Every structure is written in structure tokens, then in C-alpha cells.
Structure 1
Amino acid sequence: MSKLPDPFREGLARGWKATHGEQGLPSQIECDVAIVGTGAGAGITAELLTRAGLDVVLIEEGPLRTSSDFNQKESEAYRTLYQESAARRTLDGAISIMQGRCVGGTTVINWTSSFRTPDSTLRHWQEVYGLRDFTTEAMAPWFEQAERRLNMVPWTIPPNLNNEVLRTGATKLGISSAVIPRNVKGCWNLGSCGLGCPTNAKQSMLVTSIPAALNAGARLFYQTRAHKLDIQNGQVKGLLCVPIRLNGDKVSDQTMRVVAKHYVVAGGAINSPALLRRSDAPDPHGLLGARTFLHPVSFSAGIFDERIEGWQGAPQSLYSDHFVHDAPLQGPIGFKVEAAPLHPGMASILMGGHGQRLMTRFQQYPHTQMMLSLMRDGFHPESVGGKVRMHLDGSAVLDYPLTDYVLDGFRRSLLAMAEIQFAAGAKVVRPFHEQSDDYSTWAAAKAAIAAFDMKPLLTGAGSAHVMGGCGMASTEALGVVRPDGVHWQVDNLSVHDGSVFPTSIGANPQLSIYGMTNLLATQLVKRLNGKDVVLA
């Protein structure tokens, strides 16, 4: 691969204002708006605020890594780009959670799938949470602007075999499938999206909105943790930050106080509610950190005669919403079916087993296809999600019980995926469950899955999508923030990330965050200095 220019490094050479926490922080700085985080919500907000001429400071606890650092190695990417080195799990250890922790946040390591918020989700928010203005028609312009800005278009290159299996099997069963829009430009089709894009083709915040904000004069502090907001009498008076090492340890007892006119929390669900809880933010209705939602994910491996090579090519390019559309919101949990890329480290987990058993399965690795299902959680009375809790050291953990309601969806999704894989020609199917074996017929797999003990830890589960915890609603009795993203009890504090969603989305959430934040940040600019801005 030829060496490409690194626009972020070039910007730093031109004088972008970026400070590494380990190299020392000033004791106090002032600005118009302080933004916690640099992911999807933070990036769009920073770009719009700086375009309006506001003085913006960005606070990021993760490191700065750019295309010059991305080498397609899991061993380095997980350690430097992910929360807890990709080992973040729920309180009981039953669900692994993949989230970004770097400049650009999860947008740097996601798989580029870009869906608008489903109409059914928006209708539910209108009916249950009073979000009357969040109609499909009203949100369309905000999504359109984000799609143009980040080049979100359906993937036109033929899918890799890992994805084609989904379409082939679905077609044979009469199940609908479609092409996924992706936020890429000039993609080399390498397949390492989850490890940082070495060609800057992925239109993440690292190469779009954060550079735009820095070009306009924003200041970036990285490896700098937003520790606590100083909240007094319904106002934030300051933000206390500490320098941290790559592993998250404090560098010293040195602190930096950020004094701003307005504060935007955009650290992502889990981290945003945690910051507000550490700050003793008003929570009169006990909603902060509650109703935090994942898309709990089940997995199924299919072994084929032909080489699948699930590590190469666009990670996700096809999907099926058949099992979402056929699932009423108030009925059994619905799920979206997609493919999962298989790099060796991830494969060592998803293929199951250890020792000799895992070694035998790795001999089938090039022939293995991996399918996943995203559970649409948060719409049923038995679908209450999880709660962000705090360790004694102030760090956060998500308590997310896998209920019988959710696990029923896991069983149905394992059945659906196995049937699709067999229809596509799989010789063996292996559901991701501790009681699973290799099944050579659909009848055998169906009988085995029906008999599985669907319990946490026995049932393999993961998620890369975290939402809620600072839910938005039309009244303070229903939500942490108002429909404009401003905290109900703290007038100069907003939340601009996926934590404002009242439920899960039912689709990969990045475009939902971009579109929602585009609206909220535009409203915030109008409130702060009366200007009208548009996401270019």
C-alpha cells in the first residue's frame, strides 16, 4: 500500500490547536462552548458551532491516532482505539460492548453502515415521549444534510461473499434484503474499517467535522478526561478535567478547569450519563442512566465449501429488515440481520471453544461466514434496557440484564440465521451458544436451538450500539433532556449524542446521531448567538 497524505498530521503542522494531556494542561481556560467527546455528536456540534463563529473547546479522554498509525492490526487497534481495550462488558459479563475511545470516537472504528431512524421508531417517540416534532418528514432535511456531508450512499461494489451469503439465503427463502448505505469516499475495499481506515476513505469525524472545527479555530485536548461538572443553582460553572495516560490512569493530580457559557456532553451513552452522575446533576425523577439501551446481538457461523474470507472487503454491505418489519413494536422483539466481518482476534471469540476445539475451528476459518442479528430493544413493557452504574473510583459500568424477553429474540434470531445460512449452501452451521455443536442439516440445527438453555453467559452476546441514559422527552417526568437537547434542570448544559434516544433505534445508529445532532446543534447556535448555520 502506498503511503497517503495524513490530513490530520498536516493540519497539526499548520498550527491546529491540539494538546496532549500527558504533556501538561493549563490550570484554566475559557471559551464559548465546551464539548465533551469527539465522536458523532461532538463532531457535528463542533463543526456547526465554529462555523457560527463560536469559540469551541473539545475534551477527549482517548488518544489521537490518525491514518499514519492505522496498520490493520487488531492487537494495536483494540488497545488504542476502543473503550477498555475492547474488553468493555456489562456488569454480569454477559454482553461484550465495542465502543470507540479516541479522537473521532466510535466513528473511527465502526463498520460504516448508515441508516436513517426508522419511521416506526420516530412514531413511537412521538406517541410515548411526546416528541411531536420528530416526524419522518421533519427529520428528513437533517438526515439529508448529514448524508451529503459524510457521503452516505448505497455501496455499489459487489458485496464480499460474507455478505452475499445473506442475500443468497434470504432470496431462496423469500426474505427481503437490501444494500447498505456507507459513509465512504474512494474506498479501497480493504475490510479493516473496525481497525481505523488507513486510507481516510471512511468519512468519520476524524477526517471531516473535527478537522473542519480545528480549521475554524477550535481547541482540542486529548487524553484529557472530563471528570466533573461544577453545577450550582441550575447552572454549570465549570468543567474539571484531568490528564490521563493511554491506559486511563491519571497522569498526576493536576487539573484543568474549563469555564464556558455553554457545555455540551457528547461522550456517548454510558460515558455521558456517568459524567452527569459524577457531577451530581439534578435527577428528580431517577431517569439519569436508566433506560440505557443496546442492540443486543446474536451470532451464527456457517461453514461453506468455498472460501468466504470474511476478513476482506466492505464489512457490511447487505441487510434484511424482514424480522423487524414483521415484528410489531409491542410484540416479541424484532431483529435486523447483517453480516459480521471476521478478523482473527474477533473470530477467536465468535467461533467459540478453546484449545484443540478452537484450533480445529480455525482450520475452517477461511470458509467461515458470520451472521449477526441486532435486537430492537426498548419498545415493549418488558423491554427496559439497562442502567449505568458507578464503580467506587468513578468509572462506569452498564448493568444490562438479558431478560427472557430479549433472549426469546435471541432464540428466534439463531433459528432465522441458521435457516438462511443453510439455504445459501452452508455445509455446517454453528450458533454462538455454549451448548451449541456443529449441525449439518437445518432440521438438526432447528431442534438443537429449540432445546438451548437461553440464559446469560450461555448465550453468546455482544453489541456495538449503546443508546439512551439521558433520554429526550417533552416533559421532565419522562426525560433527562428537553426536545432541544438541553438538560431539563440545568439551563446551560446540553447532551448531543446517542444517549438522548428514548429507546434503541432498531438500526445501526450513527446516522441517527448525526441527523439528531445536526438539528440540536443548529438550534443551539441560534440560541447562543442568533445565527443560522447549515451543515455543508
Structure 2
Amino acid sequence: MIKDWIVEGLADGWSHLDGASLQDNRQLDCDVLIIGSGAGGGISAQVIAEAGFKVILVDEGPLKTSQDFKMQERQAYPDLYQESAARKTKDKAISIFQGRCVGGSTTVNWTTSLRTPESTLLHWQRRWGIRQLTSENLQPYFEQVEQQLGIRPWLANNANNALLAKGCEALGWSHKAVPRNVRQCWNLGYCGMGCPTNAKQSMLVTTIPAALNLGASLLSRFRVESLNIKQQRVRGASLQALDQQQCPRQIEIKVNARHVILAAGAIGSPAILLRSKVPDPNQLIGKRTFLHPSVISGALFEQPVLSHQGAPQSVYSDHFVWRDGVEGRCGYKLEVPPVHPILLATKLTGFGRFHSEMMQQMNHLQVTIGLLRDGFHEQSHGGQVKLRDDASPMLDYHLSDYLWDGARRALLSIAELQFAAGAKQVYPLHEQSRQLNSWTEAQSFIKQLAMQPLATRLASAHVMGGCAMGGEAASSVVDEDGNFRLLAGLTVIDGSVFPTSLGANPQLTIYALALRNSQRLAAKLALSVP
């Protein structure tokens, strides 16, 4: 039987309030309120608690543990994801996968842990005036996080990943092993549904238990309605309890805090700032919110691929990410996703018998994705977080001709790779698509496809920006330490501070930056103890 540390900790007296069961309004006090328990909030909670401060950690999602993770899509998506894994951009053109549970997206991601590319950091320095975040300065933070979370290259490839490597080798394209944040991994392949063995070193089983052991309090199923601001200083937040279906209840908590860390993610953090009507004279909040919009291509092989089994991601190729320079044509990263029935069925194009026949061949299907690197070119401005009438967030994301050119080239590269790996047929996910029988046929077909919203299938599990950091106040929401420029008592520590996308999976960058900035904040708070 798998040991469930969360259940044992709660039984031993950890402080936890569940918004679905709380029966009365409350007022709480703390030194530091941390909003969001993912990569940024989880790391910050441990660091601030270790510094001796009273911490309250709040998440709008439920507290689920290994005993709840049944490897069932129909249960995992509504329990663990924003909008039941059906979140989309305003025009419905891009599916967005984000966690909504204690541990955030670290609870449900595919464990890929890559350092920030040097090209990205150099661009940030040159274009956005970010001077301190060099590879040399970030090195100790990367090393500490990698050691704490067991991050190392994973060398046991399932067929899905092995075929990506095989295609790269046949074509002479570069590829590498994916470092993963796991210990004693069972190689099940269901990472996206929560790890049932606690092998994934997510915030759920690492930093959050560490903070709770030090006396931190956890609030789950509470939505932050607004920050409380007095005399140009953030002094806490107003929270609304949610029921088990994530619907608002008439129960509220007011939290008074010396300092607030906003770590609700690159859609959630801008939304909270917008709801709170914080000062924003340059109209920057929510702007330049970036995805890695990803095109998708399936390939049928004679042999079984069984892409639902084994580590979801263990091989990647950066061959095309920087090929045309940082500010040249849109680069793209090649990876594979796991292939599970509901996820496949909702992304697969076509209707009726064709869709049914493709689903029946799922075990012979290899899938490769091309993640577009957005934000480095003058024609790639990302999207904008806006509020709906009910104050919930949405992402308005315009895809420029620059990005569409990258999407077409990515589909071409993937088709070439899949045929080089031995595919008998390739099927780019597009409403006008059909099964292609050769690389020659694929080239002419993909070159004439209409690259446009809702026709081309696009998805992203990486959301970045919206509270951009920078060296100049006129072009940034926060400074390099994450401190909000126009209000005291507020630090943003999550992927929303990125001024561009990364060109790499963002988990490890957020961990390292959170470690750096929360340590700096703890030192500053220690100097200002009343």
C-alpha cells in the first residue's frame, strides 16, 4: 500500500481549512499570505515558513492526494484541472491545460524539468533590461531545486518517445533526454491524472508538506476575490469559499497579512490584480500573456506504440527552436504527449466512422507536438487576460501570420520526422486533414492547408506572462525580484512574470526563480520585523 503523507499529516494536526465544509465567516492573520500553491507558491511556502514567518497558503482547487488518483480521465479532469481540462482561449482556438488543485499544475504535469534556455535569458537582458537573471546567477538555484526534487535525465523511453528519437536520428536532428522530477517512478504513464505512487516530486508531496510541518496553514477551495489595499499597501485579501463543484458559497474569509505573494499562475495572477483594481497606469497587467501554442500530428505504425504507457515525456528536440535566430522566424520545440482516450477523442479531428476508426487504432498511434516559441519577435505579442462579466478570467489570444508560419513549418517537420521513424501514415490534426501515405504527399498537402483558428488543432499546457518583469517601470509590472512596482507589500512569484515565453517547458524556471525571489523576500521581511 502506498503511503499517503498528506492523510497522515492531516491526522497529526496539520492546519487545513476546506472551503466546501467551512460553516462560518472568519478573519485570519499571518505574516505572509501566499495565493496559489503551484510551482511558485509551493516553493515560496517552504522558504518563508523556514524563515520563521507565519504562512497561510490558499488555493481555489481541492486538496487531493495519492489515494484519490485513480488514473481515470473522467475523474481527474474535473477534479484537478481548470474548467475540467476544457479551458480555451476566447475564440476557442487553443485548448489550455492548467492545474486547479493543491499543488497546481505540478500535481498534473508530465514532469519535464528543463532549465531556462541561454538564448531566452540573453534576450531578456537585451530587450527587457533584466540584468541579474543570468545563467551564472541562476545556477545555484537550479542546482538546489534539482537536488531537492530529484531532477535528472530519464533514460527509459516508451515507444512514443523512442520514435521521436528514431526520427531525429534518421534525419540528423539533435535530440536529448528529458530531465524529470521523480523518485522511484513506477513508469505508469498517467502523470497527468495525479501520481498515485507519490513518485512525482510535485509541490503536493514536497514543499507544501514541509511548510505545513513548520506550522503553515493551508486553505483549499477558496477563491481570492480581491486584494485588500490601504494607503498604497497590500494588507491581505478577501476570499470566498467554494463548494465541491467549485461554485461560490456564502462563506467568506478575510486574511490580514504583512505581505502577500501572488502565485496564482499566468491567468490567475493577472485576473486577481484586475479584480482588485490595482494601479496600472501603463495598462500592462494581463498583456503579453504567452502560450507555447502547439500543433499536433498523429502517425500510425504497424507495431503497437501504446503511447499511454511509460513516462509521458523522455525525449525532446530543440533542433528548430533557435534555428533562425532569437528574433527570426518562429521556432518550435518537438516533444510527445501521452495518448489517453478522452484526451485523444477531444483533440482528434474528423467525424463519424473516420473518428471511430482512428480511435480504434489508438494503440498504434504515435503523436508528436510542435511547441511554438512566442514573444521574441515584433509580430508576436501574445494574448491578454481579461475578465468576463462574472469577473472570471479568460485569455484573448491572437495568432499572427508570424505564428501561423511557424505552425505550418512545425507540421511539416513533424510529418518528415514521423515518416523517417517508419510511420505508414501521418495525420496532421486539422479540420481539412486526411491520412497521408508518404513524405512527398505530406509536403504538398501541408503546404496548402489553411492555417487559421478552429481549423488547425492547437493546445498548450504552458501559460506565461501577464505580469511581466523588467528593468524599466514603464514596460514592466514587477522588478526582477517580483516586487509589484506601484504597491508595497506585494510580490508576484510565478510564471506570469516572464516577459516572453521560454522556448522550454516552464516548470524548472519557475522553481528556480521562486527559490531566488522568496529567499530575497524572506531576508527583506526579517529586516523589517516590527
Same fold (TM over 0.5): yes
Matched with 2:52 is: 53
Deviation at 1:156, TM superposition (A): 2.8
Shift, 1:248, TM fit: 2.5
Q: Distance in 1 between matches of 2:308 and 2:180?
A: 18
Give 1:351 deviation, angstroms.
3.0
Q: Is the 8 A contact 1:81 1:101 kept in 2?
A: yes
State the match for 1:110 in structure 2. 109
Deviations 1:154-205 (A, max 9, x none): 0032x00000111101111110111000000000000000000000000000
Q: Is the 8 A contact 1:301 1:351 kept in 2?
A: no
Secondary structure class of the residue paired with 1:33: strand
State yes or no: 1:175 paired with 2:173: yes
Query: In the alignment, what sits opposite 2:454?
Result: 457
Q: Secondary structure at the match of 1:58?
A: strand
Equivalent of 1:206 in 183, 200, 204: 204
Structure 2 Cα separation of the partners of residues 476 and 255 of structure 1: 35
Which amino acid in structure 1 is aligned with residue 493 of structure 2?
A: H
375, 380, 383: which one aligns with 2:377: 380
Per-residue deviation, 1:340: 1.1
Find the residue that maps to 1:320 and give its secondary structure. Answer: strand
* Partner residue in 2 for 1:101: 100
Corresponding position: 1:321 with 2:318:
yes
How far is the alpha carbon of 1:232 from its aligned partner? 2.8
| 1:260 has 2:257 as partner | yes
Q: State yes or no: 1:284 paired with 2:281.
A: yes
Q: Contact conserved, 2:121 with 2:135, CA < 8 A, in 1?
A: yes
- Which runs of 5 or more residues in structure 1 are unaligned? 532-536
**C-alpha separation in 2, matches of 1:188 and 1:123:** 38
Secondary structure (helix, strand or coil) at the match of 1:125 reads helix
Which residue is 2:497 aligned to?
Answer: 500
Query: In the aligned structure 2, how far is the partner of 1:230 from the partner of 1:189?
Result: 45
Residue of 227, 230, 249 corresponding to 1:229 = 227
The CA distance in 1 between the partners of 2:95 and 2:244, in whole Å, is 21
Following TM superposition, where does structure 1 have runs of at least 4 consecutive aligned residues deviating by more than 6 angstroms? none
Please name the residue that 1:419 is paired with. 416
Matches within 5 A, 1:30-41: 30-41=29-40
Q: Would the aligned equivalents of 1:40 and 1:510 in 2 still touch at CA under 8 Å? A: yes
Letter in 1 for 2:487: V
Partner secondary structure for residue 76 of structure 1: helix
After superposition, the C-alpha distances for 1:269-299 in whole angstroms (9 at most, x for unaligned) are 0100000000001111110000000000111
Structure 2: distance between partners of 1:388 and 1:205 = 26
Q: Which residue of 2 aligns with 1:191?
A: 189
1:404 and 2:401 equivalent? yes
TM-score by length of 2: 0.98
Q: For residues 56-92 of structure 1, what are the alpha-carbon distances to aligned partners after superposition, in whole Å with 9 as ceiling and x for unaligned?
A: 0011100111000001000000010000000100000
Deviation of 1:354 after TM superposition, in Å, equals 2.7
5 Å matches for 1:65-214? Answer: 65-157=64-156, 159-214=157-212
Give 1:347 deviation, angstroms.
1.2
The structural deviation recorded for 1:325 is 3.0
Shift of 1:151: 0.6
Contact persistence 2:235–2:489 (CA under 8 A): no
- Work out whether residues 62 and 246 of structure 1, in 8 Å CA contact, stay in contact via their aligned partners in 2: no
Cα contact 1:35–1:57 (8 A) shared by 2: yes
Equivalence for 1:534: none
Match of 2:360 in 1: 363
Q: Percent identity over the alignment? A: 49
Secondary structure of 2:474's partner? coil
SS of corresponding position for 1:182: strand
Mapped partners of 2:265, 2:495: distance in 1? 6
Give, in whole Å, the separation in 1 of the partners of 2:138 and 2:351. Answer: 47
* Aligned with 2:291 (options 283, 294, 298): 294
Secondary structure at 2:248 match in 1: coil
Q: Post-superposition shift, 1:326? A: 1.0
1:432 has 2:429 as partner: yes
Q: Aligned AA for 1:432? A: L
> 8 Å contact 1:80–1:246 — kept in the other structure?
no
For residues 140 and 327 of structure 1, what CA distance do their matches in structure 2 show?
Answer: 27
Q: Measure how far apart 1:26 and its partner are.
A: 4.4
Change in Cα spacing, 1:147 to 1:81, as seen in structure 2 (3 Å) is: same
- Once the 2 structures are TM-superposed, how far is the Cα of residue 483 of structure 1 from its aligned partner? 1.1
Which amino acid is the alignment partner of residue 390 of structure 2?
A: D
When structure 1 is superposed on structure 2, of 297-306 and 18-27 the one drifting more is 18-27
C-alpha distance in 2, partners of 1:208/1:297? 30
Q: Check conservation: 2:188, 2:309, Cα contact below 8 A.
A: yes
Deviation per residue, 1:491-522 (Å, 9 max, x gap): 10010000000100100000000011111001
Offset at residue 327 of structure 1 (A): 2.6
Q: What's the secondary structure of 1:471's corresponding residue?
A: coil
Residue matched to 1:348: 345
1:10 to 8, 11, 16: 8
Aligned-residue RMSD, C-alpha: 1.0
CA distance in 1, matches of 2:386, 2:103: 25
8 A Cα contact 1:114 1:183, kept in partner: yes
How many Å separate the matches in 2 of 1:474 and 1:517?
A: 18
| CA offset digits 1:349-408 (Å, max 9, x no partner) | 333223211111112111000000111100000000000010011100000012211111
| Rounded Cα–Cα distance in structure 2 between residues aligned with 1:499 and 1:232 | 24
| 1:309 aligned to which of 303, 306, 311 | 306
Contact 1:486 1:494 in 2 (8 A): yes
Q: In structure 1, what is the Cα distance between the partners aligned to 2:505 and 2:324?
A: 18
Q: How far apart, in 2, do the equivalents of 1:203 and 1:162 lie?
A: 23
Q: Which residue of 2 aligns with 1:219?
A: 217
Q: Deviations over 1:229-256 (max 9, x none)?
A: 122332013310000123321111x211
Q: How far off is 1:23 after superposition?
A: 1.6
Q: CA deviation at 1:530?
A: 4.2
- SS of aligned partner of 2:227: strand
Tell me if structure 2 keeps the 8 A contact 1:269–1:469. yes
Whole-Å separation in 2 of the counterparts to 1:169 and 1:186: 29
